[in-house]
Structure 1
Amino acid sequence: MFEFLEETAIQLGPVKAALVATIFTWLMTAVGASIVFFFKTINRAVFDTMLGFTGGVMIAASFWSLLNPSLEYAKEIFPTMHWLPVAAGFLLGGLFIFALDKLLPHLHINFGQAEQEGIPTSWHKSTLLLLAITLHNIPEGLAIGILFGSAALGLEGASITAAVALALGIAIQNIPEGMAVSMPLRRAGMSRKKSFWYGQLSAIVEPMAGVVGAIAVIFMQNILPFALSFAAGAMIFVVIEEVIPETQRDKYTDLAVLGFMIGFVVMMVLDVAWA
């Protein structure tokens, strides 16, 4: 199956492949959001474990799918200071999400209305939750697009196989992300249809970010080490600032850590086993 996905991606070309891959990750978010049609609530232990799994996938992807190939490619372009564009991209990726975090009104999943972040606003909780997960999904879409674009340049370690593995890993962890938006809205009294709509809508930015990332690196090859590490920095910021704190607000912190470790191993295996 994995070989079939790789061949299909090659036939499509990097930009179309990035679009298809990120549409798939969007659909997996919709699958997670659709759980709201069958359940009104989800056990908090399960929920925190799944959030931990999400963090593990993102951390593993940040290294094996993004930082490692970024360093390898930087050696070819900047042989004496190959670490510089990687370090700069990583820091700027984190600062980019930091700026959005301070400006964009949003509310993390397990936080109360009074704990909303960004510019003060009277927007409804559903809108703030949607914006929080949307912010989360921007670096994921960028990462997939950048990796497909870098694969088109023939970089060893940033192959189509690695890009497909990253897309699969993010698709898997998008299922709990969809639930993370739709279930709290359902508990708050919103209809099943509206809860599902908001849940799937949170990932609509992934296809857009994916296409932008693929096009950027294809037409600006020398920015590839920077672009890969930028996406990694953005993902790391999201995990540490958002995902991990959300799993530590109840009594199931150990389960969240175990979920994190499982997610990390799953993404590592996806990336390394088929590299």
Structure 2
Amino acid sequence: MEAALGTKVRYEAADGTARITLCSPGDGNSINPQMAAELLAAIRRAKADDARVVVLSAEGRAFCVGGDIRSFSSADNVEDFLDDLAEGLHHAVSELYRMNAIVVSAVAGVAAGAGVALAAAADIVLAAQSAKFTLAYTGIGFSPDGGTSLLTASLGLHRTLHMALLNPKLSAEEAQAAGLVAEVHPDDELPAAVEKVVSTLLAGSRTAQVATKRLLREQATPLPEGALRKETLSIRSCAASPDGQEGVAAFLGKRPPQFPSGQPAK
């Protein structure tokens, strides 16, 4: 069964498995209000269909490049825009965390910014060898959102700080060594690897799987929604700051940013 939820997310469900595919490769599957709304609608559809397993993947050369920065620059009020956008994405992330399904993400190509956090919202993260992971928020004068702060539970505080402050681009193997990715496969073998994980989950005890997911997630991140709201308040403030405005302008102008807060005092 395939459901048309819009133009940016495709939903398919059969045999206990829901497949949610980001399908806006022309813009790197970037997150704008439409993408966030369609993603949430797909997750709700999976819940309504009582899916046992949810597979989150993407079309094109990128898994998700993060927020649609061009839309930030055209917003009448960037604080309100970022508040609404982040909350829409955070609602989807919260649903993935709490749904009675095991979520598997399949990452090929670049996952940047909120794309990293979205991939990590899954319970099991599989990656192609082509995958690259980078946060990049501070590079445009923003603080992270999408659940990035929750990565401290899986990566540790200092590794997460390193990723968030210096914006390295991790290979799939480096992301696996850091604890973000469970398995790495050659690109052409990733679909088969995903199906093997799905089959293993479907052959197991749903009762035990859901109970295990809840126990471990609640231990690692007992108050995820509070952390997500803090991320929203922080990113909206950063976006409206002189540094945030300069970061967006520099990104769109394809030039290095000159952050006002980093300039020497005159």
TM-score class normalised by the smaller sequence: 0.3 to 0.5
Greater share of strand residues, 1 or 2? 2
Between 1 and 2, higher relative CO (CA 8 Å, sep ≥ 6) is seen in 1
TM-score (norm 1): 0.32
